[in-house]
Structures are given as C-alpha cells and as structure tokens.
Structure 1
Amino acid sequence: METARMMVAAVLIVGTGLTLAVAQPEEARLGGVQRIDLLRNDLSISGREVIQVLVQFAPGVVAPRHSHPGEEIVYVVEGSLEYALESKPPVTLEAGDVLFIPKGTTHAVKNVGSGNAAELATYIVEKNKPLVVIK
C-alpha cells in the first residue's frame, strides 16, 4: 500500500513538472484583458494549428470588435461574459457555458459581471497569420 502511494506521489510530482515545462505561459495584458498562452501545436491538416489561451477580463472591461483566421471555441471559466457576434443579438454566458465562433466572424466580448471573468479560448487557425485582427 505504501509503495502504491509513493508511486502516485511520484507520478503527480513528475506530471506537475512536465506540465510546467510544457505550459511556460506567454502573457500579454491590454487594457484590463490579460491573455496567457497555454498551447500552440501544428495539426495534421497542412497549414493549420491549434492555439489555446486563457483570457482574463477585469470587471466592466470590453475586448473590442475583432476576428480570428479560423474557428474559436470558448469555454467560460469564471464570471459572466457577453459576446456580441456580427449579425446576431448579444448572448451572455456564465461559467461552464461554451460558444462556437466561426472563422472570420467579427465579435466583441464584455465582462458584464461584478467580478473578474475568464474564458478558455481554443483556436483552430491558419498558421502564420495574426491570431487577432482588430476591426
């Protein structure tokens, strides 16, 4: 039994070390929005890559209208975020909600809650293009 516990502890320690070595987040902060790059990897589809970013929003902050050179899948981690996609009424998502944003769709995001908010954004995009295009 003690051996099993030691092995689990060793796996957790090694696993945590590997996670830290892989993640090495690159942070960017702009006007109350902080982006932490978690993953960037080529896909099996030529010329495409997946990028995963944790985006944190201070209370009341708006990420201005922008688009991406591919699809975005949003998972709200914390708080309440309002998404305004072109040609659609705004939708408010809470922690645990998800949203699919098609390639090239102009959209804006606002923290409509009283506290901090965050999303996990996963992009499936064309390589060598700017990830965010401000409109």
Structure 2
Amino acid sequence: MKATQIAAIMALAIASAITPHLGRAQQAGVHRTDLQRHDLSMPGWEAIQVRVDIDPGVTAPNHRHPGEEIIYVLAGSLEYQLQGKPPVTLKAGDVLFVPAGVIHSAKNVGHDNASELATYVVEKGKPLVELIK
C-alpha cells in the first residue's frame, strides 16, 4: 500500500513538472498533434511527424528546428516566411523544405482552418522547436 502511494505521488510530481513545458509548446490558434517518432538508421537522429493546424489569421511565430523540416500542406492557404527569402503562399497539396536552423514562420492567410503535415529529420535529445523573439 505504501509503495502504491509513493508511486502515485511520484507520478503526480512528474506530471506537474512536465505540464508547464507542454503548455508553452502550444500557442493560441496553433494546434500540434504528434503522429509518430522513430529512430533512424543514422545514429543519434530521428524522424518525427506532426500535424499542425492553424486557425484563420493566426501566425505560428518565428522558430527553428535542430534539423530539416519537410512540409506538406493538407488544407487551406499558408504563407511561409523563411529567413533571407521572400514569403511564399502555399495551398493544399503544395510542399516546402526548411533547412536545419533556418528561422521561419507560417501564417494562415485563408478564411478557413489550415493544416500541414510536418516531417522533421532531427538530432535526438535536442528541443524540436526553438522559438525566436
């Protein structure tokens, strides 16, 4: 009985410690759904797929990743701004490649929700998203 209580307290403590970090990963109007994560044959690297839904008029702020991002627009119309390049607007079915470490943002420029499938090829153990102010 005592071991069960200790385990429950530890689980609550861990959940409390993790919850604030998860909350910061989400921004109002930007919804991320983790789909899959797998180790690659290259030691120290992994592939991660995430569905990102962005409400109309909302911008996912400037950020970068510790590896490449391959984007496939599932729905809507998204304007991407990559550091050093002019903005590009993509619609469902379009693709975009974001090199490692390049600062970028995405804005839903349509009247409906927009979605992308983001595939990351990144170094393990590093934060997937680094917000840039």
TM over 0.5: same fold?
yes
The runs of at least 4 aligned residues of structure 1 exceeding 2 Å deviation read none
Residues of 1 paired with 2:28 and 2:66: CA distance? Answer: 23
For 2:43, the aligned partner's letter is S
Unaligned runs of 5+ in 1: 1-27
Q: Which residue is 1:121 aligned to?
A: 118
TM-score w.r.t. length of structure 2: 0.80
Unaligned runs of 5+ in 2: 1-24
Residues of 1 paired with 2:127 and 2:26: CA distance? Answer: 17
Structure 1 position 72, deviation (Å): 0.2
Residues of 1 paired with 2:93 and 2:67: CA distance? Answer: 23
For 2:115, the aligned partner's letter is A
Q: Which residue is 1:59 aligned to?
A: 56
Cα RMSD, aligned residues only: 1.5
Structure 1 position 29, deviation (Å): 4.0
The number of residues matched between the two structures is 110
Residues of 1 paired with 2:95 and 2:121: CA distance? Answer: 16
Q: Which residue is 2:6 aligned to?
A: none
Structure 1 position 114, deviation (Å): 0.5
What's the % identity of the aligned pairs?
64
Q: Which residue is 1:50 aligned to?
A: 47
Q: Which residue is 2:86 aligned to?
A: 89
- What is the CA deviation profile of residues 84-123 of structure 1, one whole-angstrom value per residue up to 9, with x for unaligned ones? 0000000000000000000000001000001100000000
Structure 1 position 30, deviation (Å): 2.1
Shift in alpha-carbon separation, 1:29–1:133, aligned structure 2, 3 A: closer
* Counterpart check, 1:105 vs 2:95: no
TM-score w.r.t. length of structure 1: 0.79
Q: Which residue is 1:36 aligned to?
A: 33
For 1:84, the aligned partner's letter is Q
Residues of 2 paired with 1:125 and 1:115: CA distance? Answer: 31
